[in-house]
Amino acid sequence: MGLLITGGAGYIGSHTCVELLNAGYHIVIVDNFSNSKPESLNRIRRITGKDFTFYNVDLLDKDGLESIFYENEIEAVMHFAGLKSVGESVALPLRYYLNNITGTLNLCEVMKEHGVKQLVFSSSATVYGNPDSVPIDEGFTLGATNPYGRTKQMIEEILSDLFHSDNEWSIALLRYFNPIGAHKSGLIGEDPNGIPNNLMPFISQVAVGKRYELNVFGDNYPSRDGTGVRDYIHVVDLAIGHIKALKKVLETKGVDAYNLGTGIGYSVLEMIKNFEKVSGRKIPCKIVDPRPGDIGICYANPVKAKEELGWIAYRGIEEMCEDTWRWQINNPNGYEEHANLTITNNNIIQEV
Ligand code: NAD
Ligand code: UFG
């Protein structure tokens, strides 16, 4: 029996594949490399010393998906594949709705045709929109504020409807907070295309000399130092959370949402300090206007995942920064080892 991992070449998927292979699961990965590189699959093999079947198939290609289910005995699916950039989703909403929603509908239809009804889905804390209070628990009203977030919220609703139409389904909706960090080997990590949107890859690219300085988006939020607060979670803790959720969906029926976070919030300035400490590098930064659409303070109440999945995040902020730094320093150009790039003081990448 095998597990199908959609988006397994990506950041969170690759770390989860390592944990699954190390735990003895037989996996099949599908990815179209729209936001990842084939090299990440080689690295998964290198870390684990194990092999797996890979399909370069787009979830929009339903026939391609069907052949995966014909050729493999799939017992359950972990569904990471999706586009994830908030800003891009505002500019290209149709691309996001098509890729994320139609991709998921195709996947569920093929699963249903093959009698596979166990699913772990990558949702996001973004479904909560701007919460009235923190910590955020799963019962909070949902209200995503951008097309990307709405794809996640809509998919959650679709999957709930699916369970209500057929109680044989078992679905875990995992609402990730802010995944950062990398595998201890320094062989896999987050490899964003172009200029990173997210804080941690930006900080680490400044530290390694690829970017000139960090813009801190706003210092007037109601936090300790006025900068935005998030619940950063080590990607390996997140990966382990998927294995716990998988066990739950294999043992029970139902549809349930779980926050995967630490329950602790750190501000942007605190993240910079932590990163400077572990890397020994100065992170030049300047305060600029808040990023449109950003929320001030966001952290999880992770108690439901602890009680129902037996999962807790163990890795602290220092380890998250150390592991991010190891990945960054070992792979300054991500998986493109031989790329010869440098950065000007306007954050423009130039080939040298
Ligand atoms: P990622 O972009 O690194 O990985 C997603 C993978 O899916 C990529 O390898 C991409 O090539 C693949 N993919 C996308 N569309 C596809 C399609 N139509 N067919 C086949 N493959 C496709 O992203 P990630 O950070 O690993 O995130 C994984 C999931 O978790 C995503 O669904 C994302 O929305 C969600 N999530 C991520 C974060 C975060 O901050 N990283 C936070 C909350 C939720
Ligand atoms: N920030 C900066 N400068 C930057 C980037 C970010 O100051 O260059 C600040 C933001 O304003 C925010 C914090 O750093 O206060 C974290 O920002 P990220 O962009 O890293 O993360 P977000 O919480 O905004 O969003 C991320 C993902 C979403 C996901 C959400 C919850 O981008 O897709 O986490 O999981 F939905």
Residue 337: the pLDDT is 66
Closest CA to 233 of 148, 159, 174: 174
Verify whether residue 148 is a known catalytic residue: yes
Cβ–ligand 1 distance for 180 under 6 Å, the answer no
Q: Which ligand places an atom closest to the C-alpha of 149?
A: 2
What sign has the CA pseudo-torsion 158, 56, 148, 269? positive
User: What number does the ligand 1 atom closest to the CA of 99 have?
Assistant: 18
Whether the predicted pLDDT of 307 surpasses 90 = yes
Catalytic residue among 25, 148, 266, 299: 148
Q: Which domains does the chain have, with CATH numbers?
A: 2-351 (3.40.50.720)
Residue 336: the pLDDT is 87
Q: Which ligand places an atom closest to the C-alpha of 200?
A: 2
At residue 117, the 3 state secondary structure works out as: coil
Give this prediction's pTM.
Answer: 0.96
Burial 180-197 (b: 16+ CB within 10 A, else e): bbbbeebbbbbbbeeebe
Separation between Cα atoms, residue 197 and residue 202, nearest integer Å: 7
Residue 349: the pLDDT is 35
Separation between Cα atoms, residue 276 and residue 191, nearest integer Å: 20
Separation between Cα atoms, residue 121 and residue 7, nearest integer Å: 11
User: What number does the ligand 2 atom closest to the CA of 196 have?
Assistant: 8
pLDDT tens by residue, 211-228: 999 999 999 999 999 999
Residue 339: the pLDDT is 45
Counting residues of the chain whose pLDDT is more than 90, the rounded percentage is 95
Residue 351: the pLDDT is 39
Confidence of residue 277 (pLDDT cuts 50, 70, 90): very high
Closest CA to 324 of 294, 262, 287, 281: 281
Q: Give the pLDDT mean for 36-46.
A: 98
User: What number does the ligand 2 atom closest to the CA of 175 have?
Assistant: 35
CA 197 to ligand 1 centroid distance, Å: 14
Cβ–ligand 1 distance for 58 under 6 Å, the answer yes
Q: Which ligand places an atom closest to the C-alpha of 238?
A: 1
Cβ–ligand 1 distance for 82 under 6 Å, the answer yes
Confidence of residue 345 (pLDDT cuts 50, 70, 90): very low
Whether the predicted pLDDT of 163 surpasses 60 = yes
Separation between Cα atoms, residue 311 and residue 307, nearest integer Å: 8
Structure tokens at 244: 């716990």
Separation between Cα atoms, residue 232 and residue 279, nearest integer Å: 18
What is the maximal distance between C-alpha atoms in the chain?
A: 58
Whether the predicted pLDDT of 119 surpasses 80 = yes
